[in-house]
Amino acid sequence: MSTHSLLSGIHSPADVKRLQPEQLQQLAEEMRDYIIKTLAPIGGHVGAGLGVVELTIALHYLFDSSHDRIVWDVGHQAYPHKMLTGRLEQMPSIRQYGGLSGFTKRAESEHDAFGAGHASTSISAAFGMAVGCELSGEDRHCIAVIGDGALSGGMAFEALNHAGANKNRLLVILNDNEMSIAPNVGAMSAYLARLITGKTYTSVKDATRKVLEKMPLAYEAVKRLDEHVKGMIIPGTLFEEMGFRYIGPINGHDFNHLLPTLENCGNLDGPVLLHVLTKKGFGFSPAEEDPETWHGLGPYDPETGEPVKTEGAAPAYTQVFADTLCELAEKDGRIVAITAAMPAGTGLTDFAKRFPDRFFDVGIAEQHAVTFAGGLAVEGIKPVVAIYSTFMQRAYDQIIHDICIQGLPVVFCMDRAGIVGADGATHSGSFDIAFLRCIPNLTIMSPKDEMELRNMLATAMSMNSPCAIRYPRGQGYGVELGSPEILPVGKAEVLEAGKDGLVVAEGSRVRDCLAAIEQLRREESKHYTLINLRFIKPLDEDALLKHLKKNKPLLVVEEGCRQGGIGEHIAAVALNAGWRGRFAHLGLPDEFPEHGTQAEIRRDLKLDQNAIASRLRELG
């Protein structure tokens, strides 16, 4: 399609409402075409957005997002929502520096009722809004749109359990993109959905209930019969038992099904769950055929869907981790891998193919993943839990109580540690150093390059105690990859020796510190000692004190939050030893980072080579 005649006229949801129902399908086609072509140069969460185009249009056609509350779980499925709520012209900037967020964000638009980047939160938030509206006397529709993947998170069921026990008006839309849609089933279910949400059926059912409630034995008999029959023909008995009125499943790509059913659901009181069947990547065959890859990807060819490859790029840390784990697992049958709904993101797809009996994807259930790993460790298995740094936050209690207090040998591999880039604040691995460093019995490592990551994984597997390895998103440096070696636990590495001061760095910041030191040696004949910590915990205090000159500057550089970070610990060690020189600590400030490339964010937060060199000059 060369033009977007309807879409170009959509500047707010009010413009959607002015369309005729028969125009909505054309709008959907224009939106898909726009998403595919606009995201091609930049990538993003393409598949999820393509799958909810019709549902998004229907919601904005029937409800008022500036008054009603529409909460999108995770938020990566909200690209079409952004397009219809005044942000169409900004879409080419999505996930780019200074541009739109890739997720819903309250500060970005009044139509974003709740910010989201992590899964399984929408029902809790929407239910809180529903109760809040009732308490404040506001008449609003409160709607949660949650995918079947996010429904695997325990928090979603906690919210269903709470909301179902109350009578507040709440609509939960289950966007199910795993089930296929057969025409006959879709048509029949759509008919039943329209029937049972209609006023006639509802009024008759309510009137009958009132009569039968006066006849307890008859009421219980009819209720049991109704439940048994419903359980045989409707897959929503679980939701009904939790207190929700279950509607569906209906075809989420057919406006003839969506519009009347959604409208009827909006007229019902109490908690309602509408089951909508969609296809991830709908309308673009490459995304339909490979939904896992198209969940989130880089630039691609809009005609073929082929990814745009960068020639000669070094392997990503994720790939190095995955390859190393497979090598180790070939030699040790006790090694198993666990992830929480992110097999591709954590690089474990190949492990799953090669060792299917030793791979476990637990769904969006990080708490369960950690304690499950603890149970495996009790039986002599060597579990490796691969979870993004940002998602590991959900399992903090389990790391402490179920692993570290008991000293169980579980290895936590935390991808996307530090600045994550385009996904922004919700996915930034800012806090893992601070929240893990204070836990007893836990060894924490951070590699300076991809070979060191291999060594650290081998080291962790050789230990009989809990370990965590944090490593960044993106490519390594292209260093030669040899056989992994076991490192001396708790020992730092001295990369440079100099008389003018001490620089201590962890992980991804080591290379930039080395470059800054070389720059100052070349330009100003300054010579600094550089220590690559390798082990954040236990800290190599002996190495620090050996190279710490009494009155020479000390600079600590880490890609984690300064509060509770390594710098505070090192400063205390130095001061207790009688050091009285000038001190500086570069790390993430007390704010949430914006989105952009990793290089752009590191530059702004003064964590790159230029900022490190400048800070050393200031220290003298």
Task: Provide the CATH number for the domain around residue 410.
Answer: 3.40.50.970
| Euclidean distance between CA atoms 526 and 136, whole angstroms | 65
| Euclidean distance between CA atoms 104 and 116, whole angstroms | 6
pLDDT of residue 210: 60
| Euclidean distance between CA atoms 220 and 231, whole angstroms | 16
| Euclidean distance between CA atoms 147 and 363, whole angstroms | 12
Residue 233 lies in a domain: no
Total structural domains in the chain?
Answer: 3
Question: Do 281 and 354 belong to one domain?
Answer: no
Residues 6+ apart with CB under 8 A from 287: 46, 47, 50, 280, 281, 294, 305
Q: If DSSP codes are grouped into helix, strand and coil, which group holds residue 254?
A: coil
| Euclidean distance between CA atoms 288 and 120, whole angstroms | 24
pLDDT of residue 76: 85
pLDDT band at 275 (very low <50, low <70, confident <90, very high): very high
For residue 216, say if its preceding peptide bond is cis, omega within 30 degrees of 0: no
Question: Do 280 and 416 belong to one domain?
Answer: no
Active site residue 280: yes
- Spot the catalytic one: 87, 279, 382, 394: 394
Of the listed ranges 165-169, 327-331, 430-434, the one predicted with least confidence: 165-169
Question: Do 544 and 398 belong to one domain?
Answer: no
Question: Do 153 and 11 belong to one domain?
Answer: yes
| HEC sequence for 552-597 | CCEEEEEEEECCCCHHHHHHHHHHHCCCCCCEEEEEECCCCCCCCC
pLDDT at 63 over 50: yes
Q: Which residue has the tokens 């429904």?
A: 151
If you average pLDDT over residues 247-273, what whole number do you get?
94
Question: Do 152 and 195 belong to one domain?
Answer: yes
β-bridge partners, 335: 382
Q: Which run of H or E residues covers position 50?
A: helix 46-51
If you average pLDDT over residues 456-461, what whole number do you get?
98
| Euclidean distance between CA atoms 160 and 243, whole angstroms | 8
pLDDT of residue 191: 46
* Residue ranges of E strands in 373-466: 382-386, 411-414, 443-445
421, 438, 470: which is the final residue of a domain?
470
pLDDT at 225 over 80: no
Q: Which residue has the tokens 């339909």?
A: 288
On the CB side of 450, how many CA atoms lie within 13 Å of its CA? 21
pLDDT of residue 438: 96
Question: Do 385 and 519 belong to one domain?
Answer: no
Q: DSSP string of 479-529?
A: -------PPPTT--EEEE--SS-EEEE-GGGHHHHHHHHHHHHHHH----E
Q: What is the pTM of this model?
A: 0.86
Of the listed ranges 20-34, 134-148, 181-195, the one predicted with least confidence: 181-195
pLDDT digits (tens, 9 = 90+) for 493-518: 999 999 999 999 999 999 999 999 99
Question: Do 571 and 435 belong to one domain?
Answer: no
- Spot the catalytic one: 140, 280, 454, 602: 280
Question: Do 115 and 76 belong to one domain?
Answer: yes
Of the listed ranges 62-66, 175-179, 357-361, 444-448, the one predicted with least confidence: 175-179
Task: Provide the CATH number for the domain around residue 553.
Answer: 3.40.50.920
Question: Do 507 and 566 belong to one domain?
Answer: yes
pLDDT of residue 232: 46
- Residue 345 tokens read as 């993101």
pLDDT band at 179 (very low <50, low <70, confident <90, very high): very low
Q: DSSP string of 209-226?
A: HHHHTTSHHHHHHHHHHH
pLDDT band at 294 (very low <50, low <70, confident <90, very high): confident
Residue 148 lies in a domain: yes
Alpha carbon 304 to chain centroid distance? 27
Q: DSSP string of 445-471?
A: E--SSHHHHHHHHHHHHH-SS-EEEE-
pLDDT of residue 283: 86
Q: Which run of H or E residues covers position 183?
A: helix 183-197
What value, to the nearest 5°, has the Cα angle with vertex 25 and ends 91 and 104?
A: 30
The larger pLDDT score, comparing residue 44 to residue 603, is at 603
Residue 104 lies in a domain: yes
Kindly report each contact of residues 339-343 with a partner whose C-beta sits within 8 Å and lies 24 or more positions away, as own/partner: 339/369, 339/385, 339/386, 339/387, 340/364, 340/365, 340/366, 340/369, 340/387, 340/391, 341/119, 341/149, 341/152, 341/365, 342/386, 342/387, 342/388, 342/391, 343/292
pLDDT at 226 over 60: no
pLDDT of residue 254: 95
pLDDT band at 183 (very low <50, low <70, confident <90, very high): very low
pLDDT of residue 182: 38
pLDDT band at 192 (very low <50, low <70, confident <90, very high): very low
* Residue ranges of E strands in 217-328: 245-251, 271-277
Question: Do 260 and 339 belong to one domain?
Answer: no
Q: If DSSP codes are grouped into helix, strand and coil, which group holds residue 181?
A: coil
pLDDT digits (tens, 9 = 90+) for 203-222: 555 555 665 566 666 555 55
Q: Considering only CA atoms, which of 475, 408, 412 is closest in space to residue 441?
A: 408
Residue 350 lies in a domain: yes
Residue 55 lies in a domain: yes
Active site residue 289: no
Of the listed ranges 117-131, 134-148, 172-186, 536-550, the one predicted with least confidence: 172-186
In terms of residue numbers, what domain contains 366?
317-470
Residue 308 lies in a domain: no
pLDDT at 160 over 80: yes
**Rounded to 5 degrees, what are φ and ψ at 70?**
-110, 115
Q: Which residue has the tokens 């707010």?
A: 12
pLDDT of residue 219: 56
Residue 152 lies in a domain: yes
pLDDT of residue 17: 96
Residue 476 lies in a domain: no
- Contact indicator for 204, 243 with CB cutoff of 8 Å: no
- Residue 463 tokens read as 């230990």
- Residue 141 tokens read as 């529709």
Q: What is the mean pLDDT of the chain?
A: 90
pLDDT of residue 197: 60
pLDDT of residue 115: 92
Question: Do 505 and 388 belong to one domain?
Answer: no
Active site residue 263: no
Of the listed ranges 73-87, 397-411, 449-463, the one predicted with least confidence: 73-87
- Residue 473 tokens read as 């998103």
The larger pLDDT score, comparing residue 441 to residue 296, is at 441
- Spot the catalytic one: 30, 54, 366, 506: 366
264, 295, 326: which is the final residue of a domain?
295
Question: Do 548 and 443 belong to one domain?
Answer: no
pLDDT of residue 288: 84
| Euclidean distance between CA atoms 246 and 235, whole angstroms | 9
The larger pLDDT score, comparing residue 200 to residue 352, is at 352
